[in-house]
Every structure is written in structure tokens, then in C-alpha cells.
Chains A and B, each alone.
Chain A
Amino acid sequence: MKPGSGATRQRAAGRAEPTTFSAERARRDFPILDQKIHGQPLVFLDSAASAQKPRQVIDAISRFYERDYANIHRGVYDLSLRATRAFEGARERVRAFLGAREAREIVFTRGASEAINLVASSWGRPHVGPGDEVLVTHMEHHSNIVPWQMLCGERGARLCVAPIDDRGELMLGELERRLSPRTRLLAVTHVSNALGTVVPVAEVVRLAHARGVPVLVDGAQAVPHLRVDVREIDCDFYCFSGHKLFGPSGIGVLYGKAEHLEAMPPYQGGGEMILSVSFEETTYAGIPHKFEAGTPHIAGVVGLGAAIDYLESQGIEAVAAHEHALLDYASERLSALPGLRLVGTAPGKAAVVSFVLEGVHPHDVGTILDQQGIAVRTGHHCAQPVMERFGVPATVRASFALYNTRADVDALVRGLEKVREVMSG
């Protein structure tokens, strides 16, 4: 199905007008941020868990349901054609966003987790056997550990782990040493959700490919913060979730090189993923539809397309520069607080500060900050091995998105001073 010309024009418009980025102006696009929590203005510092949605995305979804909704790839009537055009137009936008060669290399999933599970199942089962190895790193989110653990358990393979150093950086030499003749796949995060470390994935892919090992990159934390080009990275698979990219939850993306996707068996059976069905035999559809059984989250895909348009209209490079400055400012101000230790101090980081406060459990910090309207994440961030590596049960994590400003950091610092005051009785 070719993307409609309307969608293509929309994308071009999104790309063509990157204005000078202003976080204060971007902030006004997010209606949810304009409210008080416990009588204090909301300071939202948990975008790494899930980002808020701009008016543009909310409106795109409403408009789609109000005017263009029908099931896709089915009807001969106008509505269905419009819905299909919007859906496939979004696929084309995702392709351009990731720099993929072809739109059919873009598979819609429920999220990054499902994308990883899809690869573990459809690519992993035929390729990973007894005595083989799957390599991950010590800073993976549970989503990029558990599916491989399940696959290894099922196939009698071994899950190997590349270590990180005390700053939270991937140790490339150690990773290289763990790429053995039995390594069938390397699964690595692009940006660590718990530490903020940016992994030099292009370099990692080169190391792996030199030994004939394909690579899956988990880009869930990367796409809202840096320009991704899957052909430059040359990874075999790349995945992300819509909800961290200012889009709806329940929608995500798997990019796979066409030759891999073509060779892989379907992940789930159902409608949409077939060419013809009889009780004797089913002929599967081509990619990407082979991997999209059942009626998908159509409005979610439309919302994701709108979210990409939104981010492109702000200018990803400008957003990245803003967030980087904010991260430096936050690291500097937080480090100056007595008893505060940053967890994850890699030189290359994106939008995340994780820390512990001496003598105060992160959970207590979270409650006291919430009373001041400040939303942070506390806990293990679905990355228990990272917590264990740094010898802490949990951390406080403040994460930034394009709508955060220095004022948010200042509020966090004041909030932490209040934490000290409350906890010292």
C-alpha cells in the first residue's frame, strides 16, 4: 500500500519549517502541564517513563476518530481508504524518521517490548540453538533481558552480559571479548533508561558485524532525544515505543532490514497477515503485514505519525541541544547538594539524572517531592541489574523532555532541600 500524497505533503511541511526552538513555547503545546498538584504547579520530570502529549497529537487522534476512522486494508469504500492512507502514511513518516530504506521495513507493534519479543521469537527460534549465546549489556531495561532469557531457556542457549564501568559506560573491549563464535545476536540499548548513558551503537554494530553477529538496538529512550539513522548505525533491528515520543501508548515500532524480515516466520497468526487461507494451507502476506496480525491500533499509528511531525517541527537537533544544556545544568546543581550522589556519570548522556540522597530512601524522596508538585520516578526503573551494579536498591530519577526548563531543575533542587528538612525532623 503506497502512502497517500496528503500524508507525504504533511511530512514535508513538518520538516520544512523548523523554527527556533523554545522550550517555554513548546511547553504551552502540552495541556496537561498546566495544572497544580497538591496546590503547587506541576513539575513533570518523568518523561523517560512516558512522555506527555502535545495538543497536536491529541487533536490528530480526535480528528481521525471524528472524520476518517474505519478498518484498514479492507474496505473499498472511501472511509476505509482514507484510514488506510493515514495508517500507511504514518508508516512512511516512521521510515523517514529512522532513515530506513523502505517503508516495508517498518513493523507496527504494541511497543518496544513487543518488538523485542517479536524478534526473540521469529528470528531467535530459527537461529538460536543449544550451546549458542545471546549477548546483552549490563545496562539493559528488563524488556531487553527477559525475552532473550526466555529464548535461551527454551533453546538451551546461554545469555551473556557485557559489563559497564563505574561511570555507567559500556566497556567496548569487554564486549568485543564476549563476541564468541557461538554468539548469535547482540541486543543493546541505544540510551540507558536508568543511567542516561548514550551507547555508541554504530561502533558496537561494527564490532559485532566484524564477527558476523547481527544486532538489535533498543531505541526506546533514544528517539525522543537524538537523531537516529538506522542505515548509519547499520543495525539489523531497531525498536522504540510511541508513548515515550509524545505519541500514544500501546503503539511501537520494529525496524528490521528487509532481508531479515523476509526470512522470518510470522509472530502471530490472524487476519491482516495472510494472502490466502484454506484449512490445508495459509499463504502469508509480505512484509510488514506478515507481522501485523489482527486489526492494529490504527488511531495509535496515526497519533504516532503526528508525534513524529511534532518533534520534527521543533527540530530534533535543537531539542537535543536544549536537553543537553539542561542536563549539564541539572548535574551541576544536583552535585552541589550535600550527600547527593549521581548514579551514571558517563560523558555522553541523554536527558536522565539518576541519583541517591545519603540517608534517605528514594521512595521517601519521591513522596516528599510529589507533595511539592514534582513528579520523579523512584525505584529500580525496570533495570535491577543496573541497581545491583551500583550497589543501590533504587534511585531517584529525574528525566527531561523538550518541555522542561531550568525552572523545573530549580524546583527540583528546592524540593530536595525540603526533603532534607522533613527527614531530619
Chain B
Amino acid sequence: MSELRELYQSVILDHNRKPRNTGAPEGANRLASGHNPLCGDKLSVFLRVEDDRVADVGFEGSGCAISTASASLMTEAVKGRTRAEVEGLFGGFHELLTGERGAAPGPALGKLAVFAGVREFPVRVKCATLAWHTLRAALAGSGATVKTE
């Protein structure tokens, strides 16, 4: 049961109940949609990209607690970052979810470290990464729907 507590940390539950940065920000100039056909999670990520930097970001959609909280915390984490910085964050986040147990999360991850518990639930990794894959598609400017299965 303690693994459940690790998974559903209070920060995650809080962001699930009250997601931040919902909807399209003003002047949004990039959009991508993500879909997890296995569980029906759907979300859209909106960006205002200025000079290769995420000037503003928002999302909307419906999904489980992990995917909603991940999208919400992601928007907080990437706002103001350059594309390269976003890629770096994603790399660290992915490593956190799938890497060796016991490896301490890089300090750069900040609040995203609350997702460390997902590692014990391999089928839920895709829930946590859906928003990130969608964000990267939006940044790359490919309007295609992203799928995680």
C-alpha cells in the first residue's frame, strides 16, 4: 500500500483536482493533440513560442490523475524555458520514470520528482508521458495527433 502513497502523492492529487494552466494561452501559436487509445486519455497542449522559448503554455483534456497532474506540473515546469531546456527536462523526467530504482532525481527536475513513484507501475508510465510527448510535438510544429500505447 505504501507504493500507492508514493504514486498518488499529495502534490499529484492536488494538481489532479485543480489543474493549473488550463486552456489556450493568449496568442498561442502552436498546438498538438495527444491520445492514449488504451485508456481513452485525450489532451491538447497549446504554446506561445517566442524566440525558441516557451513564452506561455496551457492544456486541456481528460484523463486519469497521473496524466492530468503530469500535464499540469509540466506546464509549470516548462514556462519560460528554451526548447533545448525542455528537451533536457523531458530526458530527466523520462529517466525518473523508467530508469534504475534508487537513482536520485536530478535537481533540475524540481517538483516533477513527485512522479518517481510511477516507476513501480510500468503500465502507468505512458499516462505520465502523454503530456510531454504532446508538448514536444507542438514544439516541433508537427500538428499530428500523438499516441502513447
Contact = CB atoms under 8 A, between A and B. Distances in A.
A363 interface: yes
Given A361-B64, A363-B64, A367-B121, A422 B8 contact: yes
A394 B64 CA distance: 10
A393 B62 contact: yes
Interface residues of A, number: 19
A423 B64 CA distance: 11
Contact of B8 (A362, A387, A425): A425
Given A362-B64, A380-B40, 14 more contacts: A360-B65, A361-B64, A361-B68, A362-B39, A363-B39, A363-B124, A364-B8, A371-B4, A384-B40, A387-B40, A393-B62, A394-B39, A422-B5, A423-B65
A371 B62 CA distance: 24
A378 interface: yes
A116 B38 CA distance: 23
Contacts of B124: 363, 367
Contacts of B3: 371
Interface residues of B, number: 24
A11 to B, nearest CB: 41
Interface of B: 1, 3-5, 7-8, 10, 13-14, 38-42, 62-66, 68, 121, 123-124, 127
A377 to B, nearest CB: 11
Contacts, number: 53
A411 interface: no
A100 to B, nearest CB: 37
Contacts of B121: 367
13 contacts: A362-B64, A364-B65, A364-B66, A367-B7, A367-B123, A368-B4, A378-B39, A379-B40, A393-B40, A393-B42, A394-B39, A422-B4, A422-B5
Contact of A423 (B13, B39, B41): B13
A425 B13 CA distance: 7
Nearest 8 CB-CB pairings of A with B: A393-B40, A361-B64, A363-B64, A425-B13, A394-B40, A363-B39, A364-B65, A364-B64
A49 B10 CA distance: 33
A423 B16 CA distance: 10
A393 B37 CA distance: 10
Nearest to B12: A425
Contacts of B42: 393
